[in-house]
C-alpha cells in the first residue's frame, strides 16, 4: 500500500511545483536512472518525470524490457543489434562492450508506475485501463491531483467510474465527513479485494470516530465481504472442475483398457508421459522451423501425441499384453516392468531433468471474472478439451462399427468371436485407443505441470482410483468419479489443507468401495458376477 | 487364480489340485540350507579373519539379513496371493507398521545420546513437544513394542479385511483399494504432526536391549535371528498349506462360488489368512529396521508393495520356496545391477519382469520343475 | 571400542576389526588409484536433481586425474545408484566403504538420505561430502557440509525482502512440501520473523504433499491473504518436482513478482529448465552460487561443464548446459578434499578431517570459500537473484563476503548451548 508513496509523492511534487530544471531527458539523467543506488535512481526517474517526453517514455519501456544498456557515460537502447542513444533518440554505433542494467523488483515497480503515469494520458483506452489498474494497487492521497487531472480528461464512461473509485479510496481518510461517506458508497460499488482491508483499516479503534460513518463502514464491509465470498465459492467450484477434468482425462484411457480387456496397465502413467514428450518435441519443431506459428503448435501436438502413445500402446499390446489375456493380475507385473523400462528410456534420451513445455501465448494468463477470481486459460482449455475427448470417445463407441465391435467384445468376448469379430484385432485397436487417449491427457498435462520421466508415476494411483470408483466399463462412471473426486478434493483442501484432503479422499474411496464394490455404476446382470 | 475381472472369458487356468509339495528329501534340504546359513554366516563373519577369502563382510551379512526380511514378506504374500488368490498391493504398509513399532522402541533406546541429549526422540525435541504423544505410550518397553509389531498390522488387516471381504470385494478392486490404503498411510506418516518423525522417519539407532547395534556381532545376531524366523514361517506355512484349512484356501482361490455353495463361510478363511499374512509382514518389518538402520514412510509407497508381489511372482506363486527364491533373486539382481550398470539397471529389471510373466508363469520354481521333468523324461 | 557382553564374539571381533583396518592402511600406502565413491540417485524421484551431481563429480575427478591425480595417484570413481530409496542409500554406503574401500564419498541430496547413511559413515569412520543446502541441526565428525546452512540462505533472503530494496514485505506466506527441510526452515523463519516484530496473524504457513501438482487452491489462498493487508512475500520451500506446476499456476493466475514476490530455496537454474520463465520474471531465489555470476572462475567453470557435457553427451546438458549451486558445492568439495589429502599426505579419515580445517578454494561463486576450522561447514557468500526471462538469475543482492555457517540456528530454542564442533567420537 505504501510502497509507491515515495514515487508518487515526488510525482505530485513535480506536477505541482514544476520548475524548469531540465527541458528534456538529458544524458546525465538517463544515466542516473539506469545506474547507481536504487534510491538515487528512483529520485532521478521522478525528477525526469517533471518534464515527460517521448525519450523518457522509450527509456522506461526499454528498462522494463531489459533492452537498455550502459556504455561508458551513455545509456543506449539496443534492439536487434541496433543502438539508439536514450537521451536523444539518435542512432549510434553499437559499442563492443555494453553493460546490462539490473532492475530489481522495486526498481521495476517504480518503472511500471512511471509507465502507468504516462499511460493515464494515452490515447488508447486499453493503455489507460491498464494504467488505472496499475495505479489501483496503491491508494493514497498524494495521487489525488493526478487522478483529478485524468478524470477531467477521461471520456470513457467505465474508465471514469474506475477513476472515481480510485479517487474514493483516497478520500476515505478525508477530513470532510460527507466526502468520507461518499467515498464509502463509491467503494462499496467496487469489488476489489483490497477494498475490504481498506475499509477494515478505517474500522480500527481510533481511526474513524464518527458513529454515522462507522455504521456506513459496517454495512459496506458486509456487502463487500458477501461479494468476495461469492468469488471464493465460485473459485472452489472451478478449481474442483479443473482438477476433476484432469483426473477424468488421465483415467479415461485406463477405463477403456481396463474396462475392455481387464488389463491392469501399470504403464498407463508412462503413456501419459509419452504424450507429454510428444508435445515437447512438436513444440521444439515449431520453435525451430515455424517460429511464426509457434502459438499453434498445440494444435499439431494434440493428434501427434495421440498417435505416438497409440503406437506405443499397439506395440505393447502386440508384443506383451496379448499373451496375458485372462490373467489380469499378471498383466500388472509385466506392465510394471514395461513402465520401468519406458521411464529409463526417456531418461536416457532426454535426460533426468524436466523439459520445458511453454504454454502458447493464448493459453497463458487468465481471465478475471470477478475481482478476486482469475480463471487461467490453460485450465479452461483443459476443461473444454476433456469435454471434447469425452464426446469423441462416446461417439466412437456408440456410433461406429469399431465401437460396436468393442462393445460386443466387452460384453461377451466368445459370443463376439462366434459372430465373426476378429477379437484379436479389436483388442489391439482398443488398447491403442486407450493408450492414445492417455497420450492426449499427457498433452493436456504438459500445459499445467512438469514434463519429466516421472510424470506418469504421479498419476497412476489417482487414475486407478477414478476407474475403480466409477465402475468398470462405464464411461459415465469415469466422468462422475473424476469430477466428483476433483470437486471433493478441492472442497476439502480449502478446509483441511492439501495433505489431509488427499488422505481423506483416499479413505473415502476405500470406504465407498466397501459399500459399493462395483463402483458408482455397477455392471448389471450376468457379466457382473462371473 | 481369480477370473472375476474378465467376465466372459473361459476359466483361464485351472490351478493344479494341490501344488506338489516338496518331498521329504526336499524338506530336509531346505531345512538344512537354512540351518547351515544361520551357523556358517556367524563363523565366516566373526571367526574368519577379514583378509581371508572366506571372510563374509559386514556388508554381506546385513545384505543377507535384509533380503531374508524381504523373503518373509514374499512368503506372506504367497499365502494370500499364491494360495488364496487375493492380490494385495498394500503389504508394504504392514511391513512398515511392524518396522515403525520396532523403530519406536529403538528411538527410545537412544536415550539421551541423541543430538539434543533429551529423553524424548530428537525429532520431538525439535518440534517443541514436551511429552511424547499417546501413540508412544509404552514405547520404552521391549515386550510391549514387540506385541505391537504383530498387533498393529494384525488389527488393521483384520478390520480392513473384515469389511472388504464381507462386501465381497474381489480381484482387482481389492488390489486397488489396498493400494489406496497404503498410499493414504504414507501421506499420513509424512506429516510431522502424525508423530513418527515425518519424512526422515527414524534413524541413528544406538542399541537394542542395551546392546549396541553398530557392531558385527549384533548384525550377525540379527541376521541369524531373521534366518530362524524365516525358517519358522516357512515351516508354519507348509503346515498350513497341507492342512484342511489350507485346502479350503486353495479352493477359494480356484472357485470361491463353489466353496460357498458347499457350505463354507469363506469370509473367516480369507480374513484369518489375510490377518496372519499381515502379521508376518509386521515381523519382517521389525527385523528389517535395526538391520538397515532406517524406517521412513517410503516403505509405504505403492511401488514398495508392488515389489513384494513381484518377488513372489518371479520366484513362483503357490510354491513356498518360490517366493523366497524370488526375493533373493530380484533383490540380489537389483543390488548387483545398481553397482554394475547404474544407468541401465532399470532396463534389466523391467525386462526381467516382462520375461518372467511371459515365459515363466510359474516363476523360477516352475522353470526348474519343467527342466527337471524334461530331464526325467530323457 | 564397543563394550560387548555377549559371549564369545568379542575377542575374535576385535581381531577382525583390527586386521580390517590394518589391511586398509596397507592398501593406502601403495601407488594404486584412490577409490572415490559417488552416491547419487540415478533413478527414482530424486534422479531429476542428483544425476547431474554425479556428472559434475566425474568431471572434477577427470580434471584432477588429467593434472596428475592426488599425491601422484589417480582417482578412481565408484558410481552406484541408490535409486532414491533411503535404506538402499545405507546399504550402498556400506558397500562403498567396506567392499570398495573408497577413501571418501561424495553424495546424497535429501536430508533423509543423509540421515540414513550417517550411522554407517560414523561406524566405519569414513568421509562424506554433502553438497546441498539443508536445515542444519546436525553436525557429524564424518561429514563435510558444502551446501548452505539456514543462516547462509534462508535468513539473508528474508532480510532482503524486509529491506526497502526487497519491497519492505510485512506479511509472509511460508509455503512448503510437507517434510523435514521445509518444516525446519519455516520454524526457524517463523521465530526469526517474530523476533523482527511480525505478528502471528501476518504469517501464513501452508504445506502440500510430495509430488503435489495442483496449486490452484494454494495460490487462491495466497491471493486472498495478500489482499488483506500490507505487502506480502512468499517463502517457498517447495520440493523440486512440484515447482513447475506451482510456478505455472502462479504465472497464469497473474500474481506478479512486483505484487507478491516469491523467494525459493530449492529452485535453481536446473529446476527452471522445465518452466516458461517469462511470467516469472522478478521472483527470487537465494543461493550461494548462480550460473550468471560474472567472474573469471565462474566463466572457466561453466565453460568446462559445457565442454564436458558435450563430450560425454549428457542428455539435456549437451544442448543447454546449466550449472547450479549444488554442482558448485560438489566441485568445491572434491577440490577441498584433494587439497586436504595432499596436506595430510594420507587418505586416512582422521588425518584428512584434521587437514580439512581452514582449507580454502577459489570457488566459481567468485569468492574464496573457506572450510571452517571447527564446524565442518563452508564459509560462503549469499546471493539473491531475480528470475530473468531466459531462466537465468539477475543477482540483485549479495553479502559483502563469505558468511560463516550456523548449523545450530539460534532461532531454535535450546540451541544456544550447542557446541559448534562435532563430538569427538562416535557414541556407541
Question: B346 CB near a chain A CB, below 8 Å?
Answer: yes
Alpha-helical regions (H) of C255-295: 269-272
C175: chain A residues, CB-CB within 8 Å: none
Determine the pLDDT at residue A489: 92
**DSSP-derived pairing of the beta strands C262-264 and C284-287:** parallel
What are C9's three cell numbers?
564374539
User: Could you report the per-residue pLDDT of A114-123, keeping only the tens digit for each?
Assistant: 787 777 777 7
C265 vs chain A: nearest CA distance in angstroms? 18
- Global pTM reads 0.85
Determine the pLDDT at residue C30: 57
Which of C55, C110, C112, C421 is the best mutation test for B, with the most CBs of B within 10 A? Answer: C112
Tell me how far apart the alpha carbons of residues B102 and C300 are, in angstroms, rounded to a whole number. Answer: 52
What are A403's three cell numbers?
465401437
Q: Residue ranges per domain, chain B?
A: 69-303
Q: Do A344 and B347 touch (CB under 8 A)?
A: yes
Determine the pLDDT at residue C428: 30
CA C364 to chain centre: 16
Give the torsion sign (CA, B286, B288, B293, B298): negative
Which of B41, B54, B55, B58 is the best mutation test for C, with the most CBs of C within 10 A? Answer: B58
Under the banding of pLDDT at 50, 70 and 90, the label for residue A113 is confident
C219 vs chain B: nearest CA distance in angstroms? 21
Determine the pLDDT at residue C420: 77
Residues with Cβ within 8 Å of residue C408, at least 6 apart in sequence: C136, C137, C139, C415, C418, C420
Determine the pLDDT at residue A522: 64
Measured between CB atoms, which of A339, A464, A514 is closest to B163?
A514
Report the run of H or E that residue C368 belongs to, with start and end.
strand C368-371
Residues A146 and A245 reside in one and the same domain: no
Last residue of a domain, one of A176, A199, A222: A199
- Report yes or no on A208 lying in a domain: no
Q: Do C217 and A350 touch (CB under 8 A)?
A: no
Do residues A48 and A29 make contact, with C-beta atoms less than 8 angstroms apart?
A: yes
Determine the pLDDT at residue A473: 67
Determine the pLDDT at residue A149: 77
What are A64's three cell numbers?
522494463
What are B206's three cell numbers?
544406538
Determine the pLDDT at residue A198: 74
pLDDT, mean of residues A50-69? 82
**A444, A448, A454, A457: CA torsion to nearest 10:** -70
What beta strand segments (E) does A332-456 contain?
366-370, 373-376
Residue A349 has a CB neighbour count (10 Å cut-off) of 11
Determine the pLDDT at residue B19: 47
| Total structural domains within chain A | 2
Question: B9 CB near a chain A CB, below 8 Å?
Answer: yes
What's C371's DSSP letter?
E
Tell me how far apart the alpha carbons of residues C88 and C84 are, in angstroms, rounded to a whole number. Answer: 8
Tell me how far apart the alpha carbons of residues A419 and A505 are, in angstroms, rounded to a whole number. Answer: 44
Determine the pLDDT at residue A272: 95
Q: Do C99 and B211 touch (CB under 8 A)?
A: no
Q: Do B342 and C42 touch (CB under 8 A)?
A: yes
Residues A321 and A376 reside in one and the same domain: yes
Nearest to C378 by CA among C180, C154, C131: C131
Under the banding of pLDDT at 50, 70 and 90, the label for residue A137 is low
Tell me how far apart the alpha carbons of residues B202 and A55 are, in angstroms, rounded to a whole number. Answer: 65
Residues with Cβ within 8 Å of residue A169, at least 6 apart in sequence: A136, A139, A183, A187, A195, A198
SS3 A419: coil
Do residues A286 and A407 make contact, with C-beta atoms less than 8 angstroms apart?
A: no
Indicate whether A13 pLDDT > 50. no
Determine the pLDDT at residue A98: 82
**DSSP-derived pairing of the beta strands B211-212 and C360-362:** unpaired
Residues A283 and A342 reside in one and the same domain: yes
Q: How many residues does chain C have?
A: 428
Determine the pLDDT at residue C324: 93
Distances (CA, A) of A83 to A66, A88, A95, C290: 13, 12, 9, 29
A523: chain B residues, CB-CB within 8 Å: 7
- Percent over 70 (pLDDT), chain A: 90
Residues A60 and A181 reside in one and the same domain: yes
Residue that wins the pLDDT comparison between C217 and A171: C217
Do residues B288 and B99 make contact, with C-beta atoms less than 8 angstroms apart?
A: yes
Residues A458 and A324 reside in one and the same domain: yes
pLDDT, mean of residues A435-445? 95
Measured between CB atoms, which of C20, C82, C427 is closest to B50?
C20
Tell me how far apart the alpha carbons of residues B315 and B332 are, in angstroms, rounded to a whole number. Answer: 13
Residues 229-268 of C with CB under 8 A from A: 229-231, 241, 244-245, 248-249, 251-254, 257-259, 261
pLDDT, mean of residues B289-300? 92
A453: chain C residues, CB-CB within 8 Å: 47-48
Residues 13-52 of B with CB under 8 A from C: 46-47, 49-51
Residues A61 and A156 reside in one and the same domain: yes
How would DSSP label each residue in C133-178?
--------TTEEE-S--GGGTHHHHHHHHHSTTTT---EEEEEEES
Tell me how far apart the alpha carbons of residues A399 and A391 are, in angstroms, rounded to a whole number. Answer: 11
User: Could you report the per-residue pLDDT of B142-186, keeping only the tens digit for each?
Assistant: 999 999 999 999 999 999 999 999 888 877 788 888 999 999 999
Indicate whether B378 pLDDT > 80. no
Residues A151 and A37 reside in one and the same domain: yes
Question: A413 CB near a chain B CB, below 8 Å?
Answer: yes
Question: C50 CB near a chain B CB, below 8 Å?
Answer: no
How would DSSP label each residue in A138-203?
---GGGHHHHHHHHHH---HHHHHHHHHHHHHHHTT-S-HHHHHHHHHHHHH---HHHHHHHHHHH
Nearest to B106 by CA among B202, B223, B195: B202
Residues A193 and A244 reside in one and the same domain: no
Q: Do C112 and B212 touch (CB under 8 A)?
A: no
- In the Cβ-directed half-sphere of B62, how many Cα atoms lie within 13 Å? 25
Domain that includes residue A61, residue range: 20-199
- Across chain A, mean pLDDT equals 82
Question: C5 CB near a chain B CB, below 8 Å?
Answer: yes
C94: chain B residues, CB-CB within 8 Å: 58-59, 62
- Report yes or no on A529 lying in a domain: no
Residue A201 has a CB neighbour count (10 Å cut-off) of 14
Nearest to A237 by CA among A424, A108, A370: A370
How would DSSP label each residue in A396-438?
HHHHSHHHHHHHHHHH-HHHHHHTT--HHHHHHHHHHHHHHHH
Residues A310 and A189 reside in one and the same domain: no
CA A356 to chain centre: 15
Indicate whether A379 pLDDT > 60. yes
Q: What's the alpha-carbon Rg for chain B, to the nearest Å? A: 21
Tell me how far apart the alpha carbons of residues B186 and B191 are, in angstroms, rounded to a whole number. Answer: 9
Do residues A70 and A31 make contact, with C-beta atoms less than 8 angstroms apart?
A: yes
Residues A240 and A168 reside in one and the same domain: no
Tens place of pLDDT per residue across chain C (428 aa)? 344 444 444 444 444 444 444 444 444 455 789 999 999 998 887 888 899 999 999 999 999 999 999 999 999 999 999 988 888 999 999 999 988 999 999 999 988 899 999 999 999 999 999 999 998 888 999 999 999 999 999 999 999 999 988 888 999 999 998 777 888 889 899 999 999 999 988 999 988 877 788 898 899 899 888 888 788 999 999 887 788 889 888 888 888 888 899 999 988 898 888 777 888 888 999 999 999 999 999 999 999 999 999 999 888 898 889 999 999 999 999 999 999 999 999 999 999 999 999 999 999 999 999 999 989 999 999 999 999 988 899 999 999 889 999 888 888 877 777 777 886 543 33
How would DSSP label each residue in A124-142?
-HHHHHHHHHHHHT---GG
Last residue of a domain, one of A146, A176, A199: A199
Query: Which of the other chains make 3 or more beta carbon contacts under 8 angstroms with chain A?
Result: B, C
Question: C47 CB near a chain A CB, below 8 Å?
Answer: yes
Residues A257 and A176 reside in one and the same domain: no
User: Could you report the per-residue pLDDT of A386-418, keeping only the tens digit for each?
Assistant: 999 999 999 998 899 988 888 888 778 888 889
Q: A212-226, A286-300, B78-92, B150-164 — which is least confidently predicted?
A: A212-226
- Report yes or no on A380 lying in a domain: yes
Residues A170 and A262 reside in one and the same domain: no
Residue B30 has a CB neighbour count (10 Å cut-off) of 18
Q: Do B57 and C184 touch (CB under 8 A)?
A: no
Q: Do B338 and C138 touch (CB under 8 A)?
A: no
What residues form DSSP beta bridges with C375? none
Residue A371 belongs to domain with CATH number? 1.10.3470
- Report yes or no on A316 lying in a domain: yes
Which of C18, C21, C95 is the best mutation test for B, with the most CBs of B within 10 A? Answer: C95
pLDDT, mean of residues A19-24? 46
Residue that wins the pLDDT comparison between B338 and A269: A269
Tell me how far apart the alpha carbons of residues A86 and A93 are, in angstroms, rounded to a whole number. Answer: 13
C417 vs chain A: nearest CA distance in angstroms? 35
- Across chain B, mean pLDDT equals 85
Distances (CA, A) of A101 to A65, A76, A240, C293, C383: 10, 10, 43, 14, 18
Distances (CA, A) of B196 to A477, B151, B189, C115, C134: 38, 18, 7, 15, 20
Q: Do B8 and A530 touch (CB under 8 A)?
A: yes
Q: How many residues does chain B have?
A: 378
Angle between helices B91-110 and B302-315 (to 10 degrees): 120
B214 vs chain C: nearest CA distance in angstroms? 7
Nearest to B339 by CA among C76, C125, C83: C83
Measured between CB atoms, which of C5, C19, C178 is closest to B51?
C19
Question: A99 CB near a chain C CB, below 8 Å?
Answer: no
Q: B69-73, B149-153, B294-298, C229-233 — which is least confidently predicted?
A: C229-233
Region of residue C125 (phi > 0: left; psi between -120 and 50: alpha; otherwise: beta): left
Q: Do C227 and A197 touch (CB under 8 A)?
A: yes
Distances (CA, A) of B142 to A327, B147, B207, B233, B294: 45, 9, 12, 22, 18
Do residues A71 and A98 make contact, with C-beta atoms less than 8 angstroms apart?
A: yes
- Across chain C, mean pLDDT equals 86
Do residues B80 and B90 make contact, with C-beta atoms less than 8 angstroms apart?
A: no
**DSSP-derived pairing of the beta strands C171-177 and C203-208:** parallel
- Strand order from edge to edge, sheet including A82-85: A91-92, A82-85, A74-79, A68-71, A99-100
Do residues A249 and A389 make contact, with C-beta atoms less than 8 angstroms apart?
A: yes
Amino acid at each position: 500500500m505504501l510502497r509507491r508513496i515515495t514515487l508518487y509523492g515526488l510525482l505530485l511534487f513535480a506536477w505541482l511545483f514544476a520548475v524548469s530544471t531540465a527541458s528534456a531527458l538529458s544524458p546525465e539523467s538517463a544515466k542516473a536512472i539506469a545506474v547507481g543506488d536504487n534510491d538515487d535512481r528512483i529520485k532521478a526517474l521522478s525528477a525526469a518525470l517533471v518534464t515527460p517526453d517521448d525519450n523518457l517514455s522509450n527509456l522506461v519501456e526499454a528498462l522494463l524490457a531489459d533492452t537498455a544498456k550502459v556504455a561508458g557515460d551513455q545509456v543506449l537502447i539496443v534492439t536487434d543489434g541496433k543502438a539508439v542513444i536514450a537521451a536523444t533518440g539518435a542512432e549510434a554505433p553499437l559499442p563492443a562492450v555494453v553493460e546490462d542494467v539490473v532492475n530489481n523488483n522495486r526498481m521495476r515497480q517504480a518503472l511500471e508506475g512511471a509507465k502507468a503515469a504516462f499511460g493515464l494520458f494515452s490515447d488508447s483506452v486499453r493503455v489507460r485501463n491498464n494504467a488505472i489498474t496499475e495505479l489501483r494497487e496503491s491508494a493514497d492521497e498524494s495521487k489525488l491531483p493526478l487522478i483529478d487531472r485524468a478524470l477531467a480528461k477521461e471520456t470513457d464512461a467505465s474508465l471514469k467510474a474506475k477513476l472515481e473509485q480510485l479517487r474514493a479510496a483516497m478520500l476515505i481518510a478525508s477530513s470532510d465527513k460527507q466526502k468520507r461517506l461518499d467515498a464509502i458508497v463509491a467503494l462499496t460499488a467496487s469489488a476489489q479485494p483490497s477494498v475490504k482491508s481498506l475499509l477494515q483499516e478505517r474500522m480500527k479503534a481510533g481511526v474513524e470516530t464518527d458513529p454515522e460513518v462507522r455504521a456506513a463502514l459496517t454495512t459496506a464491509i458486509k456487502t463487500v465481504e458477501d461479494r468476495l465470498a461469492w468469488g471464493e465459492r465460485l473459485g472452489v467450484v472451478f478449481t474442483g472442475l479443473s482438477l476433476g477434468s484432469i483426473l477424468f482425462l488421465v483415467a479415461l484411457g485406463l477405463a477403456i483398457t481396463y474396462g475392455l480387456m481387464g488389463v491392469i496397465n501399470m504403464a498407463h502413467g508412462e503413456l501419459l508421459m509419452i504424450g507429454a514428450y510428444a508435445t515437447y518435441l512438436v513444440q521444439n519443431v515449431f520453435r525451430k522451423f515455424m517460429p511464426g506459428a509457434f502459438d499453434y503448435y498445440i494444435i499439431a501436438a494434440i493428434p501427434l501425441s495421440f498417435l505416438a502413445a497409440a503406437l506405443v500402446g499397439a506395440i505393447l499390446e502386440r508384443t506383451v499384453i496379448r499373451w496375458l489375456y485372462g490373467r489380469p493380475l499378471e498383466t500388472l507385473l509385466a506392465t510394471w516392468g514395461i513402465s520401468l523400462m519406458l521411464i529409463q528410456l526417456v531418461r536416457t534420451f532426454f535426460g533426468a531433468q524436466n523439459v520445458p513445455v511453454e504454454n502458447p501465448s493464448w493459453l497463458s494468463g487468465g481471465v478475471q471474472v470477478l475481482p478476486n477470481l482469475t480463471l487461467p486459460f490453460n485450465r479452461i482449455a483443459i476443461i473444454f478439451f476433456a469435454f471434447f475427448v469425452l464426446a469423441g470417445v462416446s461417439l466412437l463407441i456408440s456410433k461406429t462399427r469399431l465401437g460396436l465391435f468393442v462393445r460386443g467384445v466387452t460384453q461377451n468376448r466368445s459370443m463376439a468371436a462366434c459372430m465373426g469379430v476378429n477379437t484379436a484385432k479389436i483388442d489391439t485397436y482398443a488398447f491403442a485407443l486407450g493408450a492414445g487417449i492417455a497420450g492426449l491427457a499427457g498433452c493436456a498435462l504438459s500445459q499445467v505441470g512438469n514434463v519429466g520421466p516421472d510424470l506418469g508415476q504421479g498419476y497412476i494411483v489417482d487414475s486407478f482410483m477414478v476407474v475403480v470408483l466409477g465402475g468398470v466399463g462405464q464411461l459415465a462412471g469415469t466422468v462422475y468419479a473424476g469430477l466428483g473426486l476433483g470437486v471433493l478434493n478441492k472442497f476439502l483442501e480449502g478446509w483441511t489443507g492439501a495433505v489431509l484432503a488427499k488422505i481423506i479422499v483416499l479413505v473415502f474411496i476405500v470406504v465407498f468401495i466397501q459399500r459399493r464394490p462395483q463402483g458408482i455404476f455397477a455392471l448389471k446382470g450376468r457379466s457382473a458376477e462371473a | 487364480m481369480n477370473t472375476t475381472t474378465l467376465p466372459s472369458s473361459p476359466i483361464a487356468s485351472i490351478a493344479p489340485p494341490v501344488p506338489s509339495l516338496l518331498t521329504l528329501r526336499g524338506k530336509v534340504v531346505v531345512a538344512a540350507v537354512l540351518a547351515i546359513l544361520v551357523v556358517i554366516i556367524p563363523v565366516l563373519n566373526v571367526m574368519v579373519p577379514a583378509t581371508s577369502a572366506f571372510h563374509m563382510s559386514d556388508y554381506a551379512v546385513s545384505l543377507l539379513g535384509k533380503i531374508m526380511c524381504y523373503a518373509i514378506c514374499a512368503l506372506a504374500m504367497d499365502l494370500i496371493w499364491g494360495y488364496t488368490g487375493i492380490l494385495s498391493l498394500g503389504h508394504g504398509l504392514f511391513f512398515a507398521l511392524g518396522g515403525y513399532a520396532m523403530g519406536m522402541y529403538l528411538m527410545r533406546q537412544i536415550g539421551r545420546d541423541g543430538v539434543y541429549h533429551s529423553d524424548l526422540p530428537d525429532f520431538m525435541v525439535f518440534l517443541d513437544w514436551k511429552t511424547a504423544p499417546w501413540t508412544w505410550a509404552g514405547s520404552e518397553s521391549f515386550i510391549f513394542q514387540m506385541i505391537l509389531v504383530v498387533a498393529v498390522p494384525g488389527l488393521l488387516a483384520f478390520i480392513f479385511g473384515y469389511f472388504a471381504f464381507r462386501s465381497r470385494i474381489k480381484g482387482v478392486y481389492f488390489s486397488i483399494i489396498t493400494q489406496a490404503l497404503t498410499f493414504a498411510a504414507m501421506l499420513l506418516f509424512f506429516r510431522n504432526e502424525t508423530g513418527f518423525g515425518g519424512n526422515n522417519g527414524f534413524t541413528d539407532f544406538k542399541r537394542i536391549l542395551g546392546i549396541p547395534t553398530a557392531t558385527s556381532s549384533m548384525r550377525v545376531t540379527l541376521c541369524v535371528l531373521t534366518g530362524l524366523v524365516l525358517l519358522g514361517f516357512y515351516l508354519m506355512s507348509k503346515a498350513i498349506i497341507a492342512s484342511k484349512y489350507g485346502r479350503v484356501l486353495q479352493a477359494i482361490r480356484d472357485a470361491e462360488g463353489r466353496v460357498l455353495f458347499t457350505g463354507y463361510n469363506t469370509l473367516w478363511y480369507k480374513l484369518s489368512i489375510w490377518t496372519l499374512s499381515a502379521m508376518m509382514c509386521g515381523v519382517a518389518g521389525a527385523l528389517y529396521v535395526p538391520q538397515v538402520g532406517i524406517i521412513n514412510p517410503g516403505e509405504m509407497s505403492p511401488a514398495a508393495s508392488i515389489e513384494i508381489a513381484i518377488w513372489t511372482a518371479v520366484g513362483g506363486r503357490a510354491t513356498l520356496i518360490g517366493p523366497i527364491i524370488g526375493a533373493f533373486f530380484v533383490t540380489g539382481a537389483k543390488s548387483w545391477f545398481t553397482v554394475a550398470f547404474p544407468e541401465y539397471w532399470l532396463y534389466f529389471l523391467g525386462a526381467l519382469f516382462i520375461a518372467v510373466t511371459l515365459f515363466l508363469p510359474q516363476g523360477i520354481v516352475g522353470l526348474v520343475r519343467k527342466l527337471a521333468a524334461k530331464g526325467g523324461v530323457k | 571400542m564397543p563394550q560387548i557382553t555377549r559371549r564369545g564374539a568379542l575377542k575374535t571381533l576385535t581381531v577382525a576389526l583390527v586386521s580390517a583396518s590394518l589391511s586398509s592402511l596397507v592398501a593406502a600406502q601403495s601407488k594404486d588409484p584412490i577409490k572415490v565413491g559417488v552416491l547419487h540417485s540415478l533413478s527414482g524421484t530424486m534422479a531429476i536433481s542428483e544425476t547431474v551431481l554425479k556428472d559434475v563429480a566425474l568431471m572434477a575427478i577427470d580434471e584432477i586425474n588429467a593434472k596428475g591425480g592426488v599425491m601422484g595417484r589417480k582417482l578412481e570413481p565408484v558410481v552406484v545408484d541408490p535409486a532414491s530409496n533411503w535404506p538402499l542409500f545405507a546399504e550402498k554406503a556400506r558397500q562403498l566403504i567396506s567392499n570398495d574401500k573408497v577413501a571418501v564419498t561424495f553424495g546424497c541430496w535429501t536430508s533423509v538420505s543423509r540421515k540414513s547413511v550417517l550411522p554407517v559413515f560414523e561406524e566405519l569412520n569414513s568421509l562424506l561430502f554433502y553438497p546441498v543446502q539443508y536445515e542444519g541441526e546436525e553436525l557429524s565428525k564424518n561429514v563435510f557440509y558444502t551446501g548452505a546452512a539456514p543462516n547462509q540462505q534462508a535468513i539473508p533472503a528474508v532480510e532482503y525482502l524486509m529491506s526497502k530494496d526487497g519491497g519492505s514485505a510485512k506479511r509472509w506466506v511460508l509455503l512448503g512440501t510437507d517434510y523435514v527441510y521445509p518444516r525446519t526452515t519455516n520454524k526457524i523463519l517463523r521465530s526469526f520473523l517474530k523476533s523482527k516484530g511480525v505478528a502471528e496473524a501476518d504469517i501464513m504457513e501452508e504445506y502440500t504433499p510430495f509430488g503435489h501438482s495442483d496449486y490452484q487452491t494454494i495460490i487462491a489462498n495466497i491471493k486472498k491473504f495478500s489482499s488483506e493487508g500490507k505487502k506480502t512475500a512468499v517463502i517457498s520451500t517447495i520440493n523440486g518436482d512440484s515447482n513447475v506446476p506451482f510456478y505455472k499456476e502462479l504465472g497464469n493466475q497473474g500474481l506478479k513478482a512486483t505484487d507478491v514476490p516469491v523467494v525459493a530455496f530449492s529452485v535453481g537454474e536446473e529446476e527452471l529448465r522445465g518452466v516458461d520463465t517469462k511470467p516469472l520474471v522478478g521472483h527470487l531465489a537465494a543461493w550461494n552460487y548462480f550460473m550468471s555470476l560474472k567472474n573469471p572462475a565462474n566463466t572457466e567453470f561453466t565453460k568446462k561443464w559445457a565442454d564436458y557435457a558435450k563430450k560425454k553427451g549428457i542428455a539435456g546438458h549437451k544442448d543447454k548446459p546449466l550449472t547450479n549451486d549444488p554442482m558448485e558445492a560438489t566441485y568445491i568439495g572434491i577440490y577441498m578434499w584433494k587439497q586436504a589429502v595432499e596436506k595430510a599426505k594420507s587418505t586416512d579419515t582422521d588425518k584428512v578431517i584434521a587437514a580439512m580445517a581452514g582449507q580454502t578454494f577459489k570457488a566459481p561463486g567468485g569468492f574464496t570459500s573457506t572450510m571452517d576450522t571447527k564446524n565442518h561447514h563452508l564459509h560462503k557468500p549469499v546471493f539473491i537473484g531475480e528470475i530473468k526471462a531466459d531462466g537465468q538469475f539477475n543477482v540483485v543482492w549479495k553479502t559483502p563476503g563469505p558468511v560463516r555457517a550456523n548449523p545450530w540456528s539460534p532461532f531454535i530454542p535450546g540451541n544456544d548451548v550447542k557446541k559448534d564442533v562435532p563430538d569427538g567420537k562416535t557414541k556407541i
